Amino acid sequence: MSSRELSGIPLAFRTEHEVVLVKPAGMASELTSDPRQVSAISRVRAAGLPEAHLPHRLDRVTRGFLLVALSAEAIRFHNEEVRARAWSKYYLARVSGRAVGDSLLGAHKAYLRRRRDRMEVVHSGGQPSFLRVHAVIQAPGRRGEFHVVVELLTGRFHQIRAMLAMLGAPLVGDHIYGGSDGPFCLEHAAFVFRPFGEDVRARLFDPNDPEREPVAPEVVETLSRLSATTGEDFE
């Protein structure tokens, strides 16, 4: 097995307490029933790490960083970090729509309620959900389509997809939320977190990721800056 892979999945970070995979688009993070062991967590457990658990998940269609805790102590630690909103998670998405532009920038709030396989925006009774859009930049070679850099402040099911659609900028190819035809792009592209037992944050972002679709230099610059400057390292 390559030191850069775990059970055939690219590996971005590893300690004895946790690993961070680069989950491919199309792979489930976890499945209720997984006899063929096709989900990311099942494949990690099958690789000889039976106590592996997920403190967060990515949608099947989403590519990018997925942290897996490898012990009971590590999962408790990371669950608490998630509850305390101590992680910084930045996503790259490609959108189109009537509201794409500077008005999309900034912090946004919605109340979301899950109905089967989608999230609906409601006026009351839903989960309060927050995100921040840091950049809106023309996608190279794609007329009328834009890359957005999104900081996910809460981790709801389909949150980015549902909220960007609410804001009039659905993801291209996301027909569940009214997106136009075209290839889908949603990537957890930059991730800042504190490893179990450590005082200094890990900062993950690959500006030269060969699997990322073409983006303008401003996108890479924004993600690099955010991942490098988020928060202060613990003393």
Query: Does pLDDT of 235 surpass 80?
Result: no
* pTM for this prediction: 0.94
**Per-residue pLDDT tens digits for 91-123:** 999 999 887 888 899 999 999 999 989 999 999
pLDDT given for residue 234 in this prediction: 43
Query: Does pLDDT of 29 surpass 60?
Result: yes
Query: What does pLDDT average to over the chain?
Result: 94
CATH topology of domain 88-195+211-235: Pseudouridine synthase (3.30.2350)
Query: Does pLDDT of 143 surpass 50?
Result: yes
pLDDT given for residue 1 in this prediction: 32
The class of domain 1-84 in CATH terms is alpha beta
Pairing label, strands 186-193, 146-152: unpaired
Domain(s) labelled CATH 3.30.2350.10 in the chain stretch across 1-84, 88-195+211-235
